[in-house]
Amino acid sequence: MKPDGGSLIGFGSSGAGGATFKAFDPAKNTPLEPTFLAATSADADRAATLAAIAALALARLSGADRGKFLRAIAANLETKADDLVARAMQETALPEARLKGEVARTVGQLRLYAQAAEGGDWTDARIETAQPDRKPLPKPDHRSMLRPLGPVVVFGSSNFPFAYSVAGGDTASAFAAGCPVIVKAHPAHPGTSELTGRLILHAVRDCGLPEGTFSLLFDAGFEIGQALVQHPLVKAVGFTGSVKGGRALADLGAARPEPIPVYAEMGSVNPVFILPGALAERAAAIVDGLHASSTLGVGQFCTNPGLIVLQRSPQAEQFVKDLAAKLAGTPEGSMLTAGIAKAYATNTGVRAKQPGVKVLAQAKTAGACGAAPVWFETEALSFLGNHALAEEIFGPSSLVVWCKDRAEMLKVAASVEGSLTATVQAGAAEAKNYGDLIEVLVTKAGRLVLNGYPTGVEVSHAIVHGGPYPSTSDGGRTTSVGTRALCRWARPVCYQGFTDDLLPVELQNANPLGLWRLVNGELTKAAVG
Q: Spot the catalytic one: 118, 211, 302, 506.
A: 302
Distance (Å) of CA 281 to CA 327, 422, 437, 438, 497:
22, 21, 20, 20, 64
Q: Which of 91, 265, 377, 408 is catalytic?
A: 265
User: Coil, helix or strand for 469?
Assistant: coil
Cis peptide before 34 (omega within 30 of 0): yes
Got the DSSP string for 53-111?
A: HHHHHHHHS-HHHHHHHHHHHHHHHHHTHHHHHHHHHHHH---HHHHHHHHHHHHHHHH
Residues in Cβ contact with 504 at an 8 Å cutoff, skipping those fewer than 6 apart: 145, 147, 495
265 in active site: yes
User: Is the Cβ–Cβ distance between 203 and 97 less than 8 Å?
Assistant: no
The helix (H) or strand (E) run that includes residue 6 is none
- 302 included as an active-site residue: yes
- Is residue 208 a contact partner of residue 43, using CB atoms and an 8 Å limit? no
Phi/psi for 297 (5° steps) reads 60, 30
* Sign of the Cα pseudo-torsion (467, 375, 353, 369, in order): negative
Q: Give the H/E segment covering residue 413.
A: helix 406-415
Peptide bond into 271 cis (omega under 30): no
Choose among 424, 422, 409, 398: nearest CA to 278: 424
Instruction: Estimate to the nearest angstrom the gap between the alpha carbon of 447 and the chain centroid.
Output: 13
> Using an 8 Å Cβ cutoff, are 453 and 299 in contact?
no
Q: Which residues are catalytic?
A: 265, 302
